[in-house]
Structure 1
Amino acid sequence: MRNHVYDHRWRERWERKQKKRAQRLKRMQRDWNYRWRVRHRWHQRWHHQHKRFKHSLGARLIAIFFMLACASSVILWSSEGSAYGLLWAVPALLLVTGCAFGMIRHMVRPLHALALGAEAFRRGEFSHRVPVIHGDEIGDLAVRFNQMAADIQAMLDGKRALLLAISHELRSPLTRARLHAELVEEGASRDALLQELAQMRDLITSLLESERLGSGHRALQRADCDLAALVREQAQPGVALSIEPDLPVLKLDRLRVQLLLRNLLHNALRHNDGARGAVQLGLVREGAGVRLTVRDFGPGVPPAALAQLGQPFYRPDEARTRGEGGVGLGLCLCRLVAEAHGSELQLRNAEPGFEATVRFGAVD
């Protein structure tokens, strides 16, 4: 069958219409894509600037001050044309100022949490975490505070584990060395060797105890303790006891308090001048707790060294020249025992002599 003579014209017209329609749709699609990209780019810029504004504490403070200035100017300008302008302008200014103060206080409120966190870190409580309240510079600082605390805690835990492992491993060869030394013929060399081994044993024991006490009150085994009875157990020549009657029974770790008493007394007896008097060991009631005082009448400590007393392995120069001087862990252990009980070891020159004071509370 033959095609109609005008069929090709109709087909050409139809194809031209379809081509124009396709071009129009393509142009509309291109325009829509362009408008969408422009709008999306504008949204991105707005969100980026809004995020920077929310993150910047200074920008928000400037915005609040600007709004406060504008609102105050509007209130003052409106009050000029009114006979009773001051009657409503002053309360309005106070209200606007109060709102601005509340907004500023809300923005800087995380600084108080940072202060509490810094105080906790100063006490060695690295498990404390600063809450991240806002996502601004203060929030970033709180995140860095928490990361710093975690890093320090990990470093201290690693150091403590290493020191405990070394101390435990040293005990076995030290015990064997002492057994071999016992087999040596009696004499000055044998006595000197046994004395050196005893000092090494005491050093290892002190190191282990200091690391246990480094965890604070968690290392304690508290029970009802008669502190006056513990002090009476330390009675010996050269020590004068002064105990106030009817002292309260406290929740203390008996073994750790005995360690504190022995170290303080040993330190006082080593430096005391017997011609001036005996070492004073006293207990007095102080509020709901008890204050323990140990005083000698020796030469005292140089004022520059007072701040460093109680640090591990620190000894004043005068003590280092003594043949029987310790290794510098006695006062450190006393400080750790006091802090574990929620107290503080206070050291001062008594003129004459030296005085150490610890207060044990009824509830720590």
Structure 2
Amino acid sequence: MIKALSSSLSLRLLGIFIVTSALVIMILVTLFSRGLSGQWVRSIRPHLVQYIQYVEQDLGSPPEPDKADAIAGRLPVDIHIYRQDILLHATTESPLDVDDLEFEPVGKNRKKHLEAKFGSDLSRITISPRGGPQQVLRIRDGEYTIYFDLRTPSPRHGRFNDELLLALAALAIVLTSSYLLIRRQLSPIRQIKKSVGLMSDGNLNHRIARRGRSDLDNLANSIDAMAARLQAILDAKRQLLISVSHELRSPITRARINTELLPDSRIRDRLQDDLADMERMIRDIMESEQLQNNHSVLNTESLDLNQLFRNELEHIAPGIELQVAKEATSLLMIGDAARLRILLRNLVLNALQHGKNDDGTVSLSVSLEASADRIRLTVSDQGPGISREHLDDVVTPFYRPDPSRSRETGGFGLGLTLARLVAEAHDGTLSIDSDPSISSGTRVLVELPCR
């Protein structure tokens, strides 16, 4: 049973629920019973004087001690039985000093009622033997004298509000303890959720690493095993891409040399274009895999992004002017110049390829601005835009919204991926904003840290 409780989350939660329910019921039952008992004492006490004859009848004649104890246990009254001034029995250990009591006749209405029932010498007094007003009734029955000491309600009956507060405090403690226990039992779920979030972000090397035998520990171990298998599959895929890319370089180089020997013609030009595309694809694959797997160390230096990006734009898109915000006081950072050129080149070429207007022209803007700790590069176009369902996928390798994958509709699906990897390698971010249903165009924002 203990082993089952330690391994089963459902059984542990059920146990906490049962214990909590039992404690809550005990607190409520105790609270109501104490409250009702106090109310019973306060309600019955005024009527004991009126109906004391029934109590005397229950005692018997002569009065029996056992019956006196039973009556005192049920009613708020202490009974003292005397025989010729000798105490025979008392239902309480507190003595009643009858010699100091002064009895006076009961009130007319009550006396008339009582004496109509039975002829006894009844007196009513007010004393404070235990610190408060109290009634003592004396009944003479032949050689027996019975004193009924009507108890003042115990102090606990007068503190019902205090008991209510104590009960509420106990209830709060029980519920708080139950909440903390349940929270502790569910804490592995929060750890698993956090770890799964890291894995879903691409960190498949992260492990939850729980060593217990509970249901949640088994779940965590299964997730770790799944992540390890996925990582192995992705590593095998990357290794295959790198190996194929390496192997293709030599035949592509030989093919390029052979095409140089061909006479000038359209066929030769198309072959050279195809070979150039293949070389660019292989270069992008190798670069992206190196950045993604930290196989390549950045060649960092102090850079002026204004000058670096302006020179690169003049090379790849001479007609586009780099717009620099007036408030940008410093555009200096530590980075890899070659890879930052790749970032800008891929963003601009992607916008030129996919950002054409209906008339075939391209409205493209490239801007730089800086804040206290960040430099923002924005590349915007006024083309058809990217649908919302494709925004999260366009930065993944080889993904293209157009499934035809023709030369006219784009490249290989590596441009934005490589740009994102370059930004992340510099501790930056790349985000894309586009919604054709609201407005045309696509806006790519790259944030890089200042020096």
TM-score by length of 2: 0.64
> In structure 2, what is the equivalent of residue 121 of structure 1?
199
> What secondary structure does 1:345 align onto?
strand
Q: Which of 161, 168, 175 matches 1:90?
A: 168
CA offsets per residue over residues 273-292 of structure 1, 9 Å max, x none? 59977521101124520111
Q: How does 1:154-303 map to 2 (within 5 A)?
A: 154-215=232-293, 220-236=298-314, 237-244=318-325, 245-270=328-353, 271-273=355-357, 278-303=363-388
Q: 1:152 to 1:221 in 2, by over 3 A?
A: farther
Q: Which has the higher strand share?
A: 2
Q: Distance in 1 between matches of 2:23 and 2:352?
A: 75
**Structure 1 counterpart of 2:246, which letter?**
H
Q: Distance in 2 between matches of 1:168 and 1:63?
A: 62
Q: Which has the higher helix share?
A: 1
Q: State yes or no: 1:346 paired with 2:432.
A: yes
Q: State yes or no: 1:310 paired with 2:398.
A: no
> In structure 1, what is the equivalent of residue 20 of structure 2?
68
Q: Distance in 2 between matches of 1:114 and 1:219?
A: 33
| Alignment check: 8 A CA contact 1:240 1:278 kept | no
Q: 1:101 to 1:213 in 2, by over 3 A?
A: same
Aligned pairs, number: 315
CA offsets per residue over residues 312-363 of structure 1, 9 Å max, x none? 3333449956648322221222233234334133242584433211111348
| Alignment check: 8 A CA contact 1:216 1:339 kept | no
**Structure 1 counterpart of 2:345, which letter?**
R
Q: 1:185 to 1:359 in 2, by over 3 A?
A: same
Q: 1:221 to 1:345 in 2, by over 3 A?
A: farther
**Structure 2 counterpart of 1:261, which letter?**
L
CA positional deviation for 1:110:
1.0
Q: Distance in 2 between matches of 1:277 and 1:232?
A: 19
Q: Distance in 2 between matches of 1:157 and 1:307?
A: 22
Identity rate of aligned residues, in percent? Answer: 35
Q: Distance in 1 between matches of 2:377 and 2:295?
A: 19
Q: 1:218 to 1:57 in 2, by over 3 A?
A: farther
Out of 343-352 and 238-247, give the one that drifted further.
Answer: 343-352
CA positional deviation for 1:135:
3.0
Q: Distance in 2 between matches of 1:232 and 1:247?
A: 15
Q: Distance in 2 between matches of 1:303 and 1:71?
A: 54
| Alignment check: 8 A CA contact 1:232 1:241 kept | yes
> What secondary structure does 2:434 align onto?
strand
Q: How does 1:134-145 map to 2 (within 5 A)?
A: 134-145=212-223
Q: Distance in 2 between matches of 1:312 and 1:201?
A: 17
Q: Distance in 1 between matches of 2:372 and 2:228?
A: 38
CA offsets per residue over residues 161-180 of structure 1, 9 Å max, x none? 11111111111111111111
Q: 1:177 to 1:305 in 2, by over 3 A?
A: same
Rg larger for? 2
CA positional deviation for 1:210:
1.9
Q: Distance in 2 between matches of 1:170 and 1:276?
A: 36
Q: CA RMSD in A?
A: 2.7
> What secondary structure does 2:366 align onto?
strand
CA offsets per residue over residues 255-301 of structure 1, 9 Å max, x none? 22211100111122333459977521101124520111011233334
| Alignment check: 8 A CA contact 1:349 1:355 kept | no
Q: State yes or no: 1:59 paired with 2:142.
A: no
> In structure 2, what is the equivalent of residue 46 of structure 1?
none
Q: Distance in 1 between matches of 2:178 and 2:271?
A: 76
CA positional deviation for 1:202:
0.7
CA positional deviation for 1:106:
1.0
Q: Distance in 1 between matches of 2:284 and 2:252?
A: 15
Q: Distance in 2 between matches of 1:289 and 1:311?
A: 25
CA offsets per residue over residues 200-257 of structure 1, 9 Å max, x none? 1111111112222222697644443322222111233321211133224333332222
Q: State yes or no: 1:358 paired with 2:310.
A: no
